[in-house]
């Protein structure tokens, strides 16, 4: 029987909950202009401009104030401290890029973190007791938060702020609450004016905040308008709230866009004893015409609200993909009040939890009651009116939960229409009024996912086979298809061919020449040749050479216009001409999007990066959970960090395919199940991204077990008899990620040791070898481009996880040396031959993409001279010529998995389409900021 949610319709008594107030008074800034270049600022992102910007502000303030101008260009800086009557104005094309070195935010200043006053690293943009200040213009403020977010998992200082024995509870004197060290690990806020009057933020974009983005504290007459906040969602970034007015009075937030990793717009009023003592509520708040794209809460109040929040009106806002759309959260022990709240005209889509949540149980669960000792400081939540809310999909419609003896009081819900998967919760309410509250049931929570975005031109150019027939052959019991995809065999003709057929497509006009595509589903190390013929006449159309079938690898055969027309009419037959076992290809089923199914495709339009990303950010890029998949996961993670929604969803989908809590259900590179096993050294790469997203995930033990299993005692490296270039990427890099996220010094030292031994054993003045054998001293595969890519990419990514001052000088120098070396041997088309310095060989698109990605990342992280960045951009342009219209990257050298003739394969003209090459290209495109 179909489950139904009851529509709740009750009588409402009109009530007034919000008192209009005069809009905030804008700052008065003198008509004066000071250019930071006139005080020694240098663009380019290499030289620190903190002093020059400070001098410009000081000079402007001495003259009575005015506009301090940041012209177009990249300007690296540390903390910027305001003076009264200063407008920091970013012209179009200007980027203030904030340093990733914590020392550039010292000495500690008075700040607020988590509702408690402390001395800490300076906020990036800081003002204390200033009047008439503003940040305006059309530029970008880039917090480069990637180096700060891992502190969440290793910041003991936060327990002194938010733990049970915190500073406020112990009434520790303010002068003793001093942080500002890496050991304490308390991240600074991006922009924090404290005790300021007449503050304006308008027109600018904030990106990648280290923690909370905009947190004015104890300010009056605050205006934030036409500004954008872009932080990756949780868990890609941590605690990156968007706009958090804290104990402020007369606040206007309008026409802002917030896409962030925690609460989007969150009204606060301090925490516990500090807030009770200050007694400054947050009041008179108007929020209107804002667009919230992701985050925990959309329009949110709490949980730090101990001095009270009152008189708020939010209207005409949208929330898309947030955990909740409207959220009031508090808990016993906070004290204070939340009252006189009007929220109306809200449109919500794809809400991951409750569309409307009002709760006294923040941080608790339904099974875990609140601590009884906190019941003497229970907040009061009352006089709440929420009306005119539309939500197309949510997991839960309403979550209204007071406390027994401390109910939510006088809550009115009017004219709500919500589609939800779960029944609503109403608990401990006093005077709940509901009028025209209509709740529609959803059959499945899958609708909450962002649908795949397939470009229309790609969809119309693809004809997936409608009918697929294949002989009945027993699948080899020792193997398992990647991601448990459905498969069909392509077997010798005497066994019976596989047949593909297409139904007539109404409205299709002139037939164009198309290519047949099939995708390997299982590792197969014996060469095959797939004969393709007309299914009705037997006319032979050609053969697909398969030297090695790697799961996810795409094989193509171009057909003429006449062959295409006949194939659509009669179908195609596929049979294996040689090979002791069938070639298994992907068939329709789970984890198999259209892009990997047998199909005809017309590649007759120019490629675009967007088409590539639409394909890449899907299950089509899935690879075996080893070195191939880390190439893909890094590309997905890079684009997820840039805010791309399909990348954020896909990186979790990929990890969920292989890794479940406590288990690892995956296949190795030979398609053998290796569930709950550590695997070989090549298999640890994907754990880098798992550690970044879920540092406490139980499956990380497999990486630890793998490191221990393959530890070479004499050298302290991973790999019993060899060291290979890919160990930089597949071992040192995940080791360092795990070390950074979990605060593990042992893994940090091992990772650096891996890099140092690789540098010592694999490099020569003008050469780099893939492999070194410890027992014989033999070195093999000199200057193989993909080996160079792994060596260089692993080196740069591992060092980038360290603060600049903690990167070993010898390894930073090596990053610069390799950059100069690869640039010297780049081909005129921007690519690299399969073996560097052998320019008569064809390029390898995967090796070229990896080398260029490492170059671009090295520049971004200050390890490589910026003058070499054009070499990476040139490689990008060259690689785009290998791209198909729908986003597959051709030209990848075959994987070295045949038992013999490795060198012959690499030196041949044989090239394939492989998702791992696409992953390396995605990393390059992200690093170039396309």
What are the residue ranges spanned by the domains of the chain? 1-14+263-449, 456-601, 609-927
pLDDT of residue 808: 97
Mean pLDDT of 311-322: 97
pLDDT band at 613 (very low <50, low <70, confident <90, very high): very high
The phi and psi torsions of 142 (rounded to 5 degrees) equal: -105, 110
- Residue 107: asked if its preceding bond is cis (omega within 30°), the reply is yes
More confident of the two residues 416 and 906: 416
Which SS3 state, helix, strand or coil, does residue 818 take?
Answer: helix
Q: Is the pLDDT of residue 754 over 90?
A: yes
pLDDT of residue 126: 99
pLDDT band at 2 (very low <50, low <70, confident <90, very high): very low
Note the pLDDT tens digit of each residue in 79-114. 999 999 999 999 999 999 999 999 999 999 999 998
Rounded CA-CA distance 727/707 in Å is: 11
Note the pLDDT tens digit of each residue in 272-307. 899 999 999 999 999 999 999 989 999 999 999 999
pLDDT of residue 364: 66
Residue among 117, 300, 287, 273 at smallest CA distance from 195? 117
pLDDT, averaged across the chain: 91
C-alpha distance from residue 574 to each of 492, 532, 539 (Å): 9, 5, 12
Lowest-confidence segment of 115-129, 241-255, 333-347, 355-369 by average pLDDT: 355-369
Please name the residue ranges forming H helices in 801-863.
809-824, 845-860
Rounded CA-CA distance 405/671 in Å is: 59
Note the pLDDT tens digit of each residue in 497-533. 999 999 987 655 567 899 999 999 999 888 889 999 9
Rounded CA-CA distance 817/604 in Å is: 42
pLDDT of residue 443: 78
pLDDT band at 756 (very low <50, low <70, confident <90, very high): very high
Burial class of 431 by CB neighbour count within 10 A (0 to 12, 13 to 18, 19+): middle
Residue among 39, 89, 296, 419 flagged as catalytic: 296
Domain 1-14+263-449 grouped into CATH 2.160.20.10: yes
CATH for the 609-927 domain, from 2.102.10.10, 3.40.50.300, 3.40.640.10, 1.50.10.10: 1.50.10.10
pLDDT band at 451 (very low <50, low <70, confident <90, very high): low
Burial class of 415 by CB neighbour count within 10 A (0 to 12, 13 to 18, 19+): middle
Note the pLDDT tens digit of each residue in 894-914. 887 644 456 778 888 899 999
The phi and psi torsions of 888 (rounded to 5 degrees) equal: -80, 145
Q: Is the pLDDT of residue 649 over 80?
A: yes
Rounded CA-CA distance 271/925 in Å is: 43
Q: Is 825 a catalytic residue?
A: no
pLDDT of residue 686: 93
Q: Is the pLDDT of residue 154 over 70?
A: no
pLDDT of residue 373: 60
The secondary structure of 449-467 as a DSSP string is: SPPP---HHHHHHEEE-SE
pLDDT of residue 5: 37
pLDDT of residue 531: 96
Which SS3 state, helix, strand or coil, does residue 193 take?
Answer: strand
Residue appearing with tokens 């593990």: 744
Which SS3 state, helix, strand or coil, does residue 186 take?
Answer: coil
pLDDT band at 4 (very low <50, low <70, confident <90, very high): very low
Lowest-confidence segment of 99-108, 164-173, 548-557, 850-859 by average pLDDT: 164-173
Q: Is 296 a catalytic residue?
A: yes
Q: Is the pLDDT of residue 744 over 80?
A: yes
Q: Is the pLDDT of residue 663 over 80?
A: no
Mean pLDDT of 187-214: 98
C-alpha distance from residue 46 to each of 76, 763, 864 (Å): 7, 28, 10
Percent over 90 (pLDDT), the chain: 71
Rounded CA-CA distance 858/795 in Å is: 9
Rounded CA-CA distance 490/496 in Å is: 9
Q: Is the pLDDT of residue 185 over 70?
A: yes
DSSP annotation of 78 reads S
pLDDT of residue 7: 34
Residue appearing with tokens 């195609």: 572
Percent over 70 (pLDDT), the chain: 93
Strand 191-194 relative to strand 125-128: parallel, antiparallel, unpaired? Answer: parallel
**Vertex 449: Cα angle to 444 and 451 (nearest 5):** 110
Residue among 262, 392, 531, 646 flagged as catalytic: 262
Contact 159, 167 (CB under 8 A): no
Mean pLDDT of 58-83: 98
Contact 429, 408 (CB under 8 A): yes
Contacts of 908 (CB under 8 A, 6+ apart): none
Burial 282-307 (b: 16+ CB within 10 A, else e): bbbbbbbebbbbbbbbbbbbbbbbbb
Q: Is the pLDDT of residue 163 over 50?
A: yes
Q: Is the dihedral of CA 344, 381, 432, 8 positive or negative?
A: positive
Lowest-confidence segment of 9-13, 169-173, 200-204, 497-501 by average pLDDT: 9-13
pLDDT of residue 581: 82
pLDDT of residue 15: 47
pLDDT of residue 557: 96
pLDDT of residue 674: 80
Q: Is the pLDDT of residue 332 over 50?
A: yes
Burial class of 494 by CB neighbour count within 10 A (0 to 12, 13 to 18, 19+): exposed
Note the pLDDT tens digit of each residue in 545-601. 998 889 999 999 999 999 999 999 999 999 998 766 899 999 998 889 999 999 999
């Amino acid at each position: 029987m179909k489950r139904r949610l009851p529509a709740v319709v009750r009588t409402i008594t009109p009530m007034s909950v919000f008192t209009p107030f005069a809009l905030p008074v804008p700052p008065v800034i003198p008509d004066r202009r000071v250019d930071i270049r006139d005080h020694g600022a240098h663009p380019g992102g290499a030289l620190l401009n903190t002093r020059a910007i400070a001098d410009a502000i000081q000079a402007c303030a001495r003259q009575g104030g005015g506009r301090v101008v940041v012209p177009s260009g990249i300007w690296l800086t540390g903390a910027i401290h305001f003076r009264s009557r200063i407008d920091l104005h970013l012209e179009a094309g200007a980027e203030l890029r904030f340093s990733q070195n914590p020392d550039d935010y010292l000495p500690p200043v008075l700040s607020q973190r988590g509702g408690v006053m402390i001395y800490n690293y300076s906020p990036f943009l800081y003002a204390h007791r200033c009047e008439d200040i503003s940040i305006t213009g059309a530029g970008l403020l880039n917090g480069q938060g990637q180096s700060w977010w891992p502190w969440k998992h290793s910041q003991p200082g936060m327990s002194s702020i938010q733990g049970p024995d915190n500073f406020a509870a112990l009434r520790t004197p303010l002068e003793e609450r001093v942080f500002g060290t890496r050991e304490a690990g308390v991240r600074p806020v991006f922009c924090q004016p404290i005790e300021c009057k007449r503050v304006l933020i308008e027109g600018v974009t904030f990106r990648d905040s280290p923690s909370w983005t905009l947190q004015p504290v104890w300010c009056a007459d605050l205006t934030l308008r036409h500004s954008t906040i872009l932080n990756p969602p949780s868990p890609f970034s941590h605690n990156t709230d968007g706009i958090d007015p804290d104990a402020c009075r007369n606040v206007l937030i309008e026409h802002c866009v917030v896409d962030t990793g925690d609460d989007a717009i969150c009204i606060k009023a301090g925490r516990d004893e500090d807030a009770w003592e200050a007694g400054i509520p947050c009041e008179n708040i108007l929020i209107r015409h804002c667009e919230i794209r992701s985050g925990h809460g959309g329009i949110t109040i709490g949980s730090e609200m101990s001095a009270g929040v009152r008189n708020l009106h939010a209207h005409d806002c949208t929330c898309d993909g947030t955990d909740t759309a409207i959220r009031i959260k508090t808990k016993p022990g906070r004290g204070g009040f939340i009252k006189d709240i009007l929220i109306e005209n809200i449109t919500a889509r794809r809400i991951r939890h409750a569309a409307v949540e009002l709760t006294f149980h923040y941080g608790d669960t339904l099974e875990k009651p609140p601590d009884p000792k906190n019941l003497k400081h229970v907040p009061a939540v009352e006089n709440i009116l929420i009306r005119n809310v539309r939500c197309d999909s949510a997991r839960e419609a309403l979550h209204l939960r007071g406390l027994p003896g401390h109910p939510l009081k006088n809550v009115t819900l009017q004219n709500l229409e919500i589609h939800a998967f779960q029944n609503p919760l109403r608990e401990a309410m006093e005077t709940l009024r509901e009028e025209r509250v209509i709740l529609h049931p959803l059959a499945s929570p899958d609708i909450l996912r962002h649908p795949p975005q397939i470009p229309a031109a790609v969809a119309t150019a693809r004809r997936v086979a409608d009918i697929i027939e294949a002989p009945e052959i027993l699948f080899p019991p020792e193997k398992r298809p990647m991601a448990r995809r459905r498969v069909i065999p392509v077997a010798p003709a005497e066994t019976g061919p596989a047949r593909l057929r297409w139904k007539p497509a109404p409205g299709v006009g002139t037939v164009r020449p198309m290519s047949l595509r099939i995708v390997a589903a299982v590792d197969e190390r014996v060469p095959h040749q797939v004969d393709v013929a007309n299914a009705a006449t037997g006319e032979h159309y050609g053969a697909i050479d398969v030297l090695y079938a790697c799961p996810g690898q795409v094989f193509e055969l171009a057909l003429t216009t006449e062959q295409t027309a006949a194939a659509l009419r009669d179908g195609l037959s596929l049979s294996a001409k040689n090979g002791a076992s069938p070639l298994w290809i992907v068939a329709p089923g789970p984890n198999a999007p259209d892009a990997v199914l047998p199909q005809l495709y017309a590649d007759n339009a120019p490629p675009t990066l967007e088409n590539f990303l639409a394909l890449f950010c899907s299950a089509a890029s899935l690879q075996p959970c080893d070195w191939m998949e880390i190439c893909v996961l890094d590309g997905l993670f890079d684009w997820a960090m840039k805010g791309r929604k399909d990348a954020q969803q896909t990186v979790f989908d990929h990890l969920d395919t292989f890794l479940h809590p406590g288990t690892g259900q995956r296949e190795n590179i030979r398609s053998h199940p290796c569930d709950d096993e550590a695997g070989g050294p090549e298999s640890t790469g994907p754990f880098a991204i798992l550690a970044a997203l879920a540092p406490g995930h139980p499956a990380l033990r497999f990486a630890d077990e793998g490191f221990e299993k393959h530890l070479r005692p004499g050298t302290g490296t991973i790999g019993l008899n060899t060291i290979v270039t890919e160990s930089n990427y597949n071992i040192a890099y995940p080791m360092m990620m795990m070390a950074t996220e979990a605060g593990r010094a042992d893994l940090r030292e091992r990772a650096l040791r891996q890099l140092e031994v690789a540098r010592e054993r694999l490099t020569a003045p003008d050469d780099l070898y893939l492999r070194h054998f410890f027992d014989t001293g033999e070195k093999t595969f000199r200057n193989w481009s993909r080996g160079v890519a792994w060596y260089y990419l692993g080196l740069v990514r591992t060092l980038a996880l360290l603060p600049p001052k903690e990167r070993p000088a010898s390894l930073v120098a090596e990053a610069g040396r390799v950059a100069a070396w690869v640039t010297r041997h780049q081909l005129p088309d921007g690519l690299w031959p399969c073996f560097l310095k052998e320019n008569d060989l064809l390029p390898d698109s995967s090796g070229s993409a990896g080398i260029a990605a490492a170059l671009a990342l090295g520049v971004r992280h200050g390890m490589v001279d910026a003058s070499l960045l054009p070499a990476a951009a040139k490689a990008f342009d060259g690689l785009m010529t290998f791209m198909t219209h729908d986003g597959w990257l051709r030209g990848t050298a075959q994987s070295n998995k045949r038992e013999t003739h490795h060198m012959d394969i690499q030196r041949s003209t044989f090239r394939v389409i492989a998702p791992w090459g696409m992953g390396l290209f995605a990393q390059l495109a992200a690093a170039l900021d396309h």
